[in-house]
A and B are shown apart, each in its own frame.
Chain A
Amino acid sequence: MANVSQSSLLREFAPQIERTSIVQTLWILLLVGIIGLGFYALYIQISQGHIVTGMRDNVVWGIYIVNFIFFMGISYAGALISGTLHLFRAEWRKPIIRIAEFMTIIALLIGPCYILLCIGRLDRLYYLVIHGRIQSPITWDVIAISTDIFGCLIFLYLAILRDIAAIRDFQSLRIPSWKRKLYSFLALGYTGTPEQQKRLHKATDIMAAMVIAIAVIVYSVLAWIFSVTLQPGWHSTIFGPYFVIAAVFSGCGVMIVVMWLFRKIYHLEKFITRKHFVNVGVLMLILSALFGYFTFSDYLTKWYGSEKNDELLIRLLFDEYYWLFILSNYIGVLMPMIVVGIPKLRTISNITISAIVVILALWVNRYLIVVPTLESPYLPIQDARPAWVFYNATWVEWALTAAGIAFFALLMTIGSKFIPIVNVSEMEDKPVPEEELLA
C-alpha cells in the first residue's frame, strides 16, 4: 500500500466524487425526508411551545441534552483519534483519519443545535452574550464550544488542503467547472513546494495538539455543567475525566460503524482492513475498561456513602431503569472486552456489532445521567405534580433526534463526495524519521 501513487488513488476515488448512484440518491432523499420530519417537529415545538416535549418543571432536560452530550462525545473522539494519530505518525491511521476528521467537525456542528432545542425563548438567545456571566458554566460552554468549532474547522481544512490541491490538479476528473473552481479556490495555490509543505506540516501539528487539548476542555466543561450542581448523581469530582472517557469510548464505537459503512459502500476493503478495526477496537477495549472503572467507582462511593438522595437515585436506577442500567453499564462495558479481548472473536463483523452495542449503551448512559437525577428533585417546588416530575420523551423529541442522526449521516455522505474518504495525499507519504519527529 505504501507504493500506491496519488494519481492511481485519485482515479480510484474519482467515481465517488464524480457520480451519485441511484442508491446513493435514494439514501440522500431518505435522510432529507427524516430531516424534513425533524423540521416539522421543530415547527410544532416552536409554535406550541415546549409543552409538546416531555420536559417539565422538574425534568427540564430530556433527550435533547442526551443527544448534545452524545454528539459532542463523537466529536471529541474524532478529534482525539485524528489528532493523536497524526502527532504520533501512526502509519495505520492513514486510511481512516479522514473519517475521524469528518466525524469531529460534523458532530460538533450538530451537537450544539440540541442545546438550542432546549431553550424555550430562542428570541432571547443573544442574552447569553449580553448578560453572560463568566461564573456560569453555561457561559464556559458557549465559549468552549465556539472555540472548539473554530479550531476543528481550521484543523479539518489543513488536513484536506493537500487532497484539495491534488483534485484541482487531477485534470481527468469529470466534475462541473464550478466545482473545479471551488477546489482551485480552496487549494490556496498549494503546489507542494518545500516551503509550503513545511508550513502546512507545522500548522497541522500545532492544530492537532490544539484540537486534543480543546476537546478535553470542552468535554470537561460539559461535565462541569452537571457536576458543579449539588444534584444527586451529578455532584462528582470525577465527572470531568469520566465524561472524557465516555466520549472517546462512544466515539470509537461510531468510528468503527462509520468505517464499516464506508468500507462497504465505497468498497474500501483494501484500504480499511481488519487491522484498522482491531486497532480501533483495542482502543475501544481499553476505554471500556476505563469507563467501567469510573462508573463503578462513582456508584460505589455514592452507594457506600448512603447519603439519602444518592440512595434514592440508586434505587430508582435499579428499579425503574433496571434494564437500561444493565445495558449501559454491564453489556456496553463487557461486550467490547469479550469481542476484542478474545483473539478468535476479533473479526470485523464482531467488532462492528460490539461497536453498535457500545453506541446504544453510551447513549443510554447519558440518559441515565440526566433524567433519573432530575426525577429526584431536591427543591421543594410548590404544587410539584407527578406529571412534572417524571419524564417520557414525545414523538417531537424522537423526530428531532432522528433528524440529528440523519443530518450527521447526510453530511458524512456529502463530505465523502467532496473529498476522498481516504486521505489520498498521506497514503503515499513516507514515514517521518524519528529525529524529525522529535525535532
Chain B
Amino acid sequence: MRNPVSIRCIWLTSISLCLFLYSFAQGDPSASEPAEPGLSLIPLYTSNDTVLVTTTISLRKGREWLHLQNAVISFSVSDGKNIVRKIGEGSSDSAGTVTLAIPLYPPLPQDAQGMIRYVADFAGAAGYAPVSESFSSKPAWLKVSFYEEDSIRYIRITGTQHSRDNKMAPIPGETVNLFVPSLFRPLPIGEISLDDQGTGTMEFPSSLIGDSLGNITVIARIDEHELFGFVTGQAQINWAIPKHLLAQEKPTRELWTPVAPIWMIITLLIMLTGVWAHYIYAIVQLVRIKTSKKEEKLPETDWSKYS
C-alpha cells in the first residue's frame, strides 16, 4: 500500500470498466444444441397468372433476428398429409429470402375447397434444425383497368377466383385497397368494394403526379384474406400530372426551400461578423507585437544573471 491513491484509482477504474463492458456484453446461445430457425411463407397471386412464393429464414439471437444466407429451401404443394407436387427449390440470399415465381398453368393441385396448401421446407444443416412452414390460399386475380365516361376517368377492378374444376368465378363483396408507388411504401389512394360480378370502380384521383409523361402505376391489393391470402394486380396509365407540368411556384424562403430564410442569413452573418471581427482584432495585435519589436530593438533578456 505504498501508493494508495494509485491502487484505489486502478481498482475503481477496473470495477467501472467491468460494469461498463458487462452492460454491453451479449449472451452467447448454447453452442451444443442445434439452433432452431424460423420460417415465414407468403404466396402472392399476381395479375400475370403466377404466384410469387416468398419465404424468409431467420434465427433469433439475443434480441436480434439473424437472416440465414445460402439455406436451401424446397417448395411444394401438399394435401395436408403428403406432398403432392414439388414446385421448386432455391437458396436464401443475404436477407434470408427465397422467392419463386410459379405459373398457375397448368393448375396446381387444389383441395375440395379449392385451396392450395403451399409448403416451404428447410431440411436442416450443420448446427441448424430442420423447419417447415405452410400456407393455404385459394388462387385469385385482380385485374386493374381504366375507362373514361362523360369526361370522368375511372379505375376498374375485377376480382376473379379459380375453382377446383378449372372454372373462373367472380370475387363478390371483397374490399380491395388501391395504391400508387411512392418513396418509402405504396401510397394508399382509396379502396373499392367489389359487387356480385366481382367488379368495382373508383374515380381516378386527379391530383396524382406521375413521371415526365404522366405515367403512373395503380396497384390493387388484398392482404391477409382468410380465403385468398395475398392477391395483387397492377396496371399503368398516363393520366397522372406529368412532373414537368407542375406549376412552378414563386420561390419562397422556408426551412425546406433551397434558399434560406432572410432572418437566418442575417443572424448567421451578424454572429460570424462579430466573431471574426474579434479574431481579426487579436491577429492584428499579434502582428503589432511583432512589428513593435523591430521598432524598439530592445536588448534580449539575460537569464544568466538568474542562474
Contacts and interface: CB of A to CB of B under 8 A. Distances in A.
B95 A383 contact: yes
B260 A357 contact: no
Nearest to B11: A353
Interface stretch (B129-137, B237-245, B297-305): B297-305
Contact of A191 (B17, B22, B185, B298): B298
A356 B294 CA distance: 49
A420 to B, nearest CB: 15
Contacts of A353: 8-9, 12
Interface string B52-75: 000000000001111100000000
Q: For chain B, what secondary structure do more than half of its interface residues adopt (helix, strand, loop), or is it mixed? A: helix
A154 B287 CA distance: 12
A143 to B, nearest CB: 7
A198 B283 CA distance: 14
A380 B185 contact: yes
Given A158-B282, A191-B301, A196-B289, A134 B24 contact: no
Q: For chain A, what secondary structure do more than half of its interface residues adopt (helix, strand, loop), or is it mixed? A: helix
Interface residues of A, number: 64
Given A390-B64, A392-B26, A135 B289 contact: no
Interface stretch (A85-93, A175-183, A199-207, A239-247): A199-207
B88 to A, nearest CB: 23
A157 B287 CA distance: 13
B275 A210 contact: yes
Nearest to A388: B64
Given A134-B268, A172-B303, A364 B282 contact: no
B293 A356 contact: no
Nearest to B265: A134
Nearest to A197: B289
B64 A387 contact: yes
Contact of A196 (B13, B63, B283, B293): B293
A323 B265 CA distance: 45
Contacts of B67: 385, 387
Interface in B153-190: 184-185
Interface string A1-27: 000011110110000000000000000
A203 B20 contact: no
B275 A324 contact: no
Nearest to B60: A386
B19 A327 contact: yes
B285 A195 contact: no
A387 B95 CA distance: 11
A193 B24 contact: no
Contacts of B296: 191, 193, 195
Interface in A343-392: 348-349, 352-353, 356-357, 360, 364, 379-383, 385-387, 390, 392
Interface string A197-221: 0011011001100100110010000
B294 A189 contact: yes
A301 interface: no
B16 interface: yes
A169 B64 contact: no
A143 B260 contact: no
A357 B298 CA distance: 52
Given A166-B301, A364-B20, A387-B65, 11 more contacts: A134-B260, A134-B268, A147-B272, A170-B303, A193-B292, A195-B296, A196-B289, A348-B5, A349-B5, A382-B184, A390-B64
Interface of B: 4-5, 8-9, 12-13, 16-17, 19-20, 22-24, 26, 63-67, 95, 184-185, 255-256, 258, 260-261, 264-265, 268, 271-272, 275-276, 278-279, 281-283, 285-286, 288-290, 292-294, 296, 298, 300-301, 303-304, 306-307
9 contacts: A143-B268, A193-B296, A199-B288, A200-B289, A210-B278, A327-B16, A349-B9, A356-B16, A360-B17
